[in-house]
Amino acid sequence: MIISTGPRCHETPLCDSTDRFCFKRIWRSSLKPAFSVMAKVLSDKATVVLLLFFCIMGVTFYLNLSRFSQHCAQPNSDAIDGQTPNAIDRSAVDEKKVAYLSQLLKDRLEAVTEGGPGIPKLVCEETNSTAPCKSRVPCDRPLESRMPEDRIRELLSTPTLQLSSDQLNRILSLSEDIPENDLIIASAISSNHFDEMQAMFKNLHEVVFPRLKNFGMVLFDLGLSEKQRNITLKNCRCQIVPFKFELFPPHMSDLRCFSWKPLIFRSVIAKARKLIVYQDSSIRWNENFAEAFERALKYGQQTICPKYSDNVPSNSLKQTLDYLNEDVCNMRMFHELQAGIQMNRHDPLVIEALLDPWCRCALEDSCMCPIKPSAVISCRGNHLHRCHRFDQSAFNTIMAKIYGVERYKMAVPEKKMPLKILRGDKNSVYFKE
């Protein structure tokens, strides 16, 4: 921004800029008395030179004032076409990148042939439940009408969904000590979930680790005690990485906002050459896990969508949908995908269309955590916005913006379910001191 110390355009002008004779009238009326006096004293060369000097200064004043008037009549460049400085600037979008990512999206959707229909049968106006439904009245900007190019362009061109260089560097610093590997399994733990974590590692050690090669296991420490950390390091067969809360906004330290989770995804995928698998401590894999990993490598993404899950806006605050520029009407058709278990391939569509916007939302409390978590954690009643799922609410919305009504294709089919979600499942004696 250039700050000028000259005249301000909002000050009252001396003349209407459309009156071409106005400045001449001022000039002549102002100098007429002076001309009368000077005519009497034009008796020597010094007086002539002085008069010439005043004439030149007057002409210069007239020309500069005319240019200033024309400048004030022009619209501000930041407000052309009614846009604010933070509105989408389509001229700044890399259309080659839009075309490339759009083609990746098309190829991905065409490759998946399994899964059920993405549009529910229930009519929203005829039901009083939190089940997915379709509105009888057409939604604003219906997802069905958005072309892949339009979806990608919006995600890449909305300033409030983009990471600055400084923000990205801070996120990537979380994984600076993690070595690269083909596959990285990541999780995060705080002291109050220590026993759930032990049960998670028992499952990983017995079911998953024996069948994998070229992989690493990373556990982000969200607040373990020194004793818990030492016991975990001795038993987990993993790398423990401290989460650097001090690098990020204050709300990040409130673990109940779950704003830390997208940042872990983005930091670790930079070190996963092929695939990152993130899991909460409640995830318990079965023998089908390898097929799910392969599906993620083939299709780019895989997650879990429980058959009887609620629609997204029932468990999401409107502030989050507004920040992400998505209509509640559109989101009522979608079951909730589980953000706590994801398998993501290292590719630009995942990173730039999903993870970067998700991380930017996480960095803004007005997006991911707009209300104190304790006030919105409990889901009661059948109304919209009855509670909030923080990272999961934002994740579901962005996934809908990317995949539209075919979002279901990024979920593992029910008949091939590779895991169970066992919240509260604990094992207090698996780790040995």
pLDDT digits (tens, 9 = 90+) for 135-146: 999 998 999 999
Average pLDDT score over residue span 54-81:
41
**pLDDT tens, 321-346?**
999 999 999 999 999 999 999 999 99
For residue 253, the model assigns a pLDDT of: 98
Higher pLDDT, 38 or 156: 156
Cβ-contact 322, 397 below 8 angstroms:
no
- Determine the Cα–Cα distance for residues 393 and 379; give it in Å rounded to an integer: 13
Task: Specify the pTM.
Answer: 0.79
Q: Which of 92-96, 128-132, 415-419 has the lowest mean pLDDT?
A: 92-96
For residue 256, the model assigns a pLDDT of: 98
Q: How confident is the model at residue 121 (pLDDT cuts 50, 70, 90)?
A: confident
Q: Which residues of 17-55 are buried (b: 16+ CB within 10 A; e: fewer)?
A: eeeeebbeeeeeeeeeeeeeeeeeeeeeeeeeeebeeee
pLDDT of 371 higher than 90:
yes
Average pLDDT score over residue span 187-202:
98
Q: How confident is the model at residue 307 (pLDDT cuts 50, 70, 90)?
A: confident
Yes or no: domain 90-421 corresponds to CATH 3.10.450: no
- Determine the Cα–Cα distance for residues 314 and 383; give it in Å rounded to an integer: 6
For residue 114, the model assigns a pLDDT of: 82
For residue 308, the model assigns a pLDDT of: 84
Q: Which of 193-197, 350-354, 412-416 has the lowest mean pLDDT?
A: 412-416
Higher pLDDT, 185 or 16: 185
Domain residue ranges of the chain, discontinuous segments joined by +? 22-73, 90-421
Tell me the pLDDT of the chain averaged across its residues.
Answer: 85
Measured in degrees and rounded to the nearest 5, phi and psi for residue 21 equal -100, 0
Q: How confident is the model at residue 90 (pLDDT cuts 50, 70, 90)?
A: low
For residue 13, the model assigns a pLDDT of: 41
Average pLDDT score over residue span 299-319:
95
Residue 424, Ramachandran bin (φ over 0: left; ψ between -120 and 50: alpha; else beta): left
Dihedral over Cα of 386, 390, 396, 401: its sign: positive
**pLDDT tens, 91-101?**
578 999 999 99
Higher pLDDT, 47 or 118: 118
Cβ-contact 270, 334 below 8 angstroms:
no
Cβ-contact 340, 280 below 8 angstroms:
yes
For residue 50, the model assigns a pLDDT of: 52
Question: Do the bridges between strand 181-189 and strand 215-221 make them parallel or antiparallel, or are there none, so unpaired?
Answer: parallel
**pLDDT tens, 20-66?**
444 444 444 444 444 444 444 444 555 544 555 565 555 454 444 44
For residue 117, the model assigns a pLDDT of: 63
- Determine the Cα–Cα distance for residues 325 and 146; give it in Å rounded to an integer: 14
Chain length of the chain: 433
Greatest mean pLDDT among 12-21, 47-56, 75-84, 204-213 lies in 204-213
